[in-house]
Amino acid sequence: MIFLHTLYIRRINLPVRGILKNRVIYFLIKMKAVYVMLAVFCSLISGCEGSRVETVSGFKQYHNPAWRIRLEAPLEWETAEDVTGSVVVFYSPVEAEGDVIQDNVNLIIEDLSETPLTLFQYSRENISQIREYLADCRILEEGESMLSGYKSGTLVFTGTQEHMDLKWYQEWTVVNDRAYLLTYTAEAGKYDKYYMEAMQIIRSLKIQ
């Protein structure tokens, strides 16, 4: 059986002004194994304690009281928690066995209380690490927006991982010494297919 597994590049134990900093770039690839193992590994939300998913007006509404956040996703998108460090991941519908990856949107929340960063500082670090760790990285767009009522940074970039040409959209904000980083990942050639739905998920973030 074909299923999707999460791989990641992670910056570990790298001193920044004497403090260890981590940043994560996620992407998904196809590989073979047993679906039950995937379900256990991904901690699928149907049985997760604390958070909940409700169906309202044709959308999944995800609420995580521990992190005090809410998100919405289309009904067809699968929801999983605690996937290698992310708070939640939304997976687009599986189209065919030949798909290289399953498009997805994931949310990472990073505690900055020990080394507080402004939005500008966090943006510089994030972009610097992407350039350093992503093969053939090409920054296509860099800008600013609003996320959950807060000023945010945005980035569109491409790169190669496991011989795959991938494209990402990232948006992040810093609120009360926490960084909220949302990432949409897709094959470069299919990036536009779920772009609008991915943006709908990202724009739905509510920080409480």
What's the pLDDT tens digit per position in 47-67? 445 677 776 667 899 999 999
pLDDT at residue 173 in the model: 98
Comparing C-alpha atoms, which of 67, 98, 100, 95 is closest to residue 81?
67
CB–CB of 155/139 below 8 Å? Answer: yes
pTM listed for this prediction: 0.78
How many other C-beta atoms can be found within 10 angstroms of the C-beta atom of residue 22?
A: 13
What's the CATH code, domain 2-207? 3.40.1000.10
How many whole angstroms separate alpha carbon 29 and alpha carbon 162?
9
Residue 45 has pLDDT above 90, yes or no: no
Higher model confidence: residue 70 or residue 3?
70
Residue 95 dihedral angles phi and psi, to the nearest 5°: -95, -50
Q: Give me the pLDDT at residue 17, please.
A: 30
